[in-house]
Structures are given as C-alpha cells and as structure tokens.
Structure 1
C-alpha cells in the first residue's frame, strides 16, 4: 500500500503537468501561431489583473453562500469558509470526479471549525443543487435573448431540457419537503433503504434534519434572498472574469453570447470526465464564443488565460488554504479546550 500511494501521486502530477503544457502551449495554437502571438502582444495587463480580482470575488461569493447555509449558532467566520472553499476547489481540480474527496475536505475543515456534520451535509447539498439551478436559470435567460438574434442550435435544446428537468425535480422536492416534511423524509428513507448497507433509520434521521433545515431556510426570507443572491453572484462574477480576460486580448465579446457559451460549458462540465471540467469547458467555450463573433485566436488565448486563473490558480492556493485553515482551527480548538479547563477548575475551586 505504501508503495502504491507515491506512484499514484506521481502519476497524477505527471498527468497534471501534461495537461498544463497542452492547456498553455497547444490550445492557443488553435487560432494559428502568428495570430496567437499577435493577440498575446496586444494584452492589456490591467484587465488581466481585474479578471483575477473578479475570480477571487467569485470564490468569496461562494464562501459567503457556504456560510449563509450554516445556521448562525455554528456559522464559521468568512475567512475560514473561504479557506475551505479554496481547499476543496483545489482538490476538485486535481481528482477526476472528485466530489467525494471534495466533500471529505469540507467535512474535515468545517467540522474542525465547529460545524456539526448534519449542517455540513445540508450546506454542501443545497449549495451544489441550488448553484446548478441558478446556473441553468442564467443560461435559460441568455438563450431566450440570443435565439431570436442568432438562431437555434440543437445543443441548446439538449442543455435546456437537462436544465428543465433539474429545475422541475428541485422545485418538486422542495415543495414536497415543505408541505409534508415527515412523509417526505419517510418516503426517501424507504426508497434508499433498498440499497445494500443502507439503514432506513439512519437515512430517516438525516432526512428529518435536512427537511427541517430546508423549512427553516424557506421561512427566513432575508437569508433566502441572500443565498440566491450569492449563488448568482458566484456565477456572474466568474462569467465577468471570463469577459474581462477576453477583452484583455481584443474587442469586447457580446455579453449574451458569452453567457450562453459560459452556461453551456459549465453545464457540460458536470460530466465527470476530467477534474474541474478540464478540456470540456475549453472545448465548449472556444467554438461557441467564435460562433458568437469572437475572433478564434482571441477566444483561444482568452479562454486559456481565464482557465489559468479559474482552474490552475486554485490548486496552489487551495493547498495553502488547507494548511492555513487547519492551523487556525487547531489553534481555536486549543483555546476552547483551555477555556473549558479553566471553567472546570473555577467550578471545582468554587465548590471547595
């Protein structure tokens, strides 16, 4: 076992290095070497920096979303939530289909910050599904505006249908949970109990907790509005980073066309082919942007530059964030233990 793990790590590092080389040096050649070099020579450094800032703000909005989905009594500080988001994103960008590993990182870091496991489950589940619904709503709106102007493409129907099913299932589940909480929880528990190794009692306990938290969130309108707002801000800030990065290398891309390309790429990236949608997002973004009028060389170089910030940068930042959050939470746990010990000593001294 000990010999296998280093080999696996080396294999992952080699694959990432290969992907990085292809991503940085091969993809820009799609538009032709001379055109790519010409586009690189006309870069606006200020806009590149602005794109990086917008991307960090997108991650910050996602961290705030995580924070808002955790009840106030156990809510971690924003800096810890941001660190957990960066750490889990970094892992997600290294491990293909790394949802389980990403969840494990979140459970560890948020758990060390004092968040109960049930509340972490609710936050992560609601965050993932809710963000997907918001992304599909943004894509739908962009499609409604763009189709009369640019025409209909078959892929639009496929992606729109997937979005419609997702939104319908999400809405039906929320309505069922709010109208008959106990019945809905019991129905899900019975359904999942048919799976091997799944206990109906345990599932029921988890479902009751989740349904109660959904009900609490639905009743708190101000918090619900903030949750939806942060989910939207996360996607729109990320899309803005893409728009600014493309503009750094040439003329402004059309906003509606960019949102269609961005939405299509991120919906397709859900397919767990590669970590963080590497290759999938680029393969969808570049031709779709070209279809909406962006010059091919600008689209190729701009998308690669955007993905350097969106995909590659979170890997080292995530590693640093993991260490920082671990240190911060371990120090907080030591302080908490010290306070508890002092209280016990004072209590014993008072009894004497």
Structure 2
C-alpha cells in the first residue's frame, strides 16, 4: 500500500513539474518572439509616454480605474444574501486578485482561489462566494463574446482577413448559444442537470457527487435570482459591458494620442478578440497573447506600425502592469484593516478552502 502511495505521489509530482515546465516554456517563447520584438521596435515606452499631454494620460488612467470599479460593482450585484462587503473592500479584493492573475503563469485559478479566500474572510458565505464567482466570470465572458459579435457585424465585409474573422465569429456564436442553453437547462430542468452532474462526478472520481450537486444547485439558485429580478440582471449586464468598454476606451485614448483615431467598431473587434484568446491560461494575464493579436489587427485597420505598438504597450502598462503594485498595496491594506478586525473577532487568522474559477485578464 505504501509503495502504491509513493508511486502515485511521484507521478503527481512529475505531472506538476511538467505543467510548470510547459507554462514556463510558453512564457519564454511568447516573450522572446512577441513581446521583446515589440519593445525593441517601439523604443523606450516610458519616454513616449512622457511626450504625451498629461491630461490624456490621466484620462486613460481614469478610464482604466473606472473599468476596474465597474467589475467590483458587478461583484456586488452577483453576490447573493445580505452579507456583502462594502464596495471599497470588494475593489481592493479585485485589485489583489488582478495582481496574482498578472504574475503567475495560468494565474486565473490561483487568483480565483485567493479571491475566494479573501471574500470568505470578509464575511461572504463559501457557497455564495463560489457561485457568485462562477456566474460573474461566465456572465462577463458571455458579454465579451457579445461585444465581439457586435464588432464583427459592424465591420463585416470592410476588413482584410474577413474569412478568418467570420470563422472566429461563428465559433464564438456557437459557444455563446451553448452557454445560454446550459443556463436555461439549469433554470428549467434542474433535476435532470443534477442527475447528469452526479453521474459525471462518479465517472471521473475527482469530485464528490454531493459536492457537484451542491455546486450546480447553487449556480441554479443564482440564475433563478436574476430571473426573478430583471433589474439586477440588467445592472449586471451593463456593468460587465462597462468593464470591457471602458478598458477598450483606455486603449483608444492611447492610440489617438499617438496619432491614429481607430473606429469604435474596429476597436471593439480587435479588443474583444484579443481578450477572448487571453482566456486560454498560457501566460499571466494573457501577456504576449494580447499584444500579439492587438498590434497586427490595429495595423490591419490602417494604423501605422509604430502607433499600434506604442498605443498597445502604453495601454498594457496601465492595464496590465500598474495593477500589480496597486494590488499588492490593496492586499496589504486588507490585511491591516478588515482582515485583522475579523481575525480578532473570530480568533481564526486564516480560513476556508479555495475555489478554482478562471477569471478575466
């Protein structure tokens, strides 16, 4: 028995090492062949930023801050029950989540686990935190897919490479329909969905059938909550859309500052496609993947090469790199503030299991 356990542990350890090695190799290749050429061709990005009017840079930073704030308001909307933390607490939790997501390869699962822990330590029930995170991520990605479809329809027939974009649009549309159908099944045929999930859990043996059923019923409860409260559903959709539109507007400001005004439909198409591809957990926060898609697409829409590179890298400086130190400071303020107070009341400095729900870039 002991030898079997040891061999199983060695296999798991080797598998983990292989995963980390593959992730590291992906990061190296992306940085070597996508990120570094862009950095070299653009010169000193900080010097370029210093040459921009201060008001434009501040406007771009403000748009990005409003984008992050929209996501935190979305968190408040999807959290059920009456134990929701305040907006400023949720905003700091989301910043800490982003910092982890942007620094760990395939960091969506790790950052989601950290976010889950912070939410539960701030008074959110474990089931509520898990179901809300799932609904929020799935819903936000559905909105992103909808924005991509809207952008594709708006520029259809006017862009180069239209065939490939049409294929991508078809794939996104199919996934969109499947996701909506799954939510409808949870809402209207919960018993059948529970039966299917329990059977799958018994087959794969990685998840307890009881835990799988509890998870599905919790998600179904979230879906029914939104169906009973259309105002809340509308607010969640608007906030998810604002999160992405304001982020894209930040990119638009930088491109305009460097001399190219991109059509809003073209911006929406390029931005949403890059972020959909970045959902694949290969690099931290889609590093390299986002730049590698955005730059050639923006060039294809008529922007000069140097403007596309400078605009995208300036935007990523604000959207990707700036939240890392900001998230560290946010986590520190949580540890010195609400987490310390909660720990003193409960006598438990740490808590709760972790969840693994992959999040946005």
| TM-score, structure 1 normalization | 0.84
| Structure 1 equivalent of residue 303 of structure 2 | 294
Deviation at 1:334, TM superposition (A): 5.5
Partner secondary structure for residue 95 of structure 1: coil
Q: 1:233 aligns with which of 213, 223, 242?
A: 242
- For structure 2, the residue ranges without an aligned partner over 5 or more in a row are 1-19, 348-361
- For structure 1, the residue ranges without an aligned partner over 5 or more in a row are 1-7, 339-352
Deviations 1:287-340 (A, max 9, x none): 1001111111111111111000111011111111112123322244257559xx
1:85/1:297 CA distance change after superposition, 3 Å: same
- Does structure 1 residue 262 correspond to structure 2 residue 280? no
Partner secondary structure for residue 305 of structure 1: helix
| Structure 2 equivalent of residue 313 of structure 1 | 322
Partner secondary structure for residue 194 of structure 1: helix
* Aligned mates of 2:195, 2:281 — CA distance in 1: 31
Deviation at 1:53, TM superposition (A): 0.7
| Structure 2 equivalent of residue 344 of structure 1 | none
| Structure 1 equivalent of residue 209 of structure 2 | 200
Q: 1:253 aligns with which of 262, 267, 273?
A: 262
| Structure 2 equivalent of residue 224 of structure 1 | 233
Contact 2:80–2:132 (Cα < 8 Å) also in 1: no
Deviations 1:89-126 (A, max 9, x none): 11000111112211111111101110011111111111
| Structure 2 equivalent of residue 342 of structure 1 | none
| Structure 2 equivalent of residue 44 of structure 1 | 53
1:41/1:49 CA distance change after superposition, 3 Å: closer
- Does structure 1 residue 80 correspond to structure 2 residue 113? no
* Aligned mates of 1:326, 1:159 — CA distance in 2: 43
1:297/1:39 CA distance change after superposition, 3 Å: farther
- Does structure 1 residue 30 correspond to structure 2 residue 38? no
| Structure 2 equivalent of residue 4 of structure 1 | none
Q: 1:126 aligns with which of 135, 139, 161?
A: 135
| Structure 2 equivalent of residue 349 of structure 1 | none
Contact 1:185–1:211 (Cα < 8 Å) also in 2: no
Q: 1:119-198 alignment to 2 at 5 Å?
A: 119-198=128-207
| Structure 1 equivalent of residue 6 of structure 2 | none
Cα root mean square deviation, aligned? 2.7
Partner secondary structure for residue 149 of structure 1: coil
* Aligned mates of 1:315, 1:280 — CA distance in 2: 18
* Aligned mates of 1:46, 1:178 — CA distance in 2: 48
* Aligned mates of 2:182, 2:337 — CA distance in 1: 37
| Structure 2 equivalent of residue 343 of structure 1 | none
Partner secondary structure for residue 148 of structure 1: coil
Contact 1:131–1:231 (Cα < 8 Å) also in 2: yes
Deviation at 1:62, TM superposition (A): 0.6
Q: Which runs of 4+ in 1 moved over 4 A?
A: 36-42, 334-338
* Aligned mates of 2:101, 2:125 — CA distance in 1: 23
| TM-score, structure 2 normalization | 0.82
| Structure 1 equivalent of residue 5 of structure 2 | none
Deviation at 1:26, TM superposition (A): 4.8
| Structure 1 equivalent of residue 224 of structure 2 | 215
Contact 1:47–1:247 (Cα < 8 Å) also in 2: no
Q: 2:312 aligns with which of 283, 303, 313?
A: 303
Contact 1:39–1:250 (Cα < 8 Å) also in 2: no
Q: How many residue pairs get matched?
A: 321
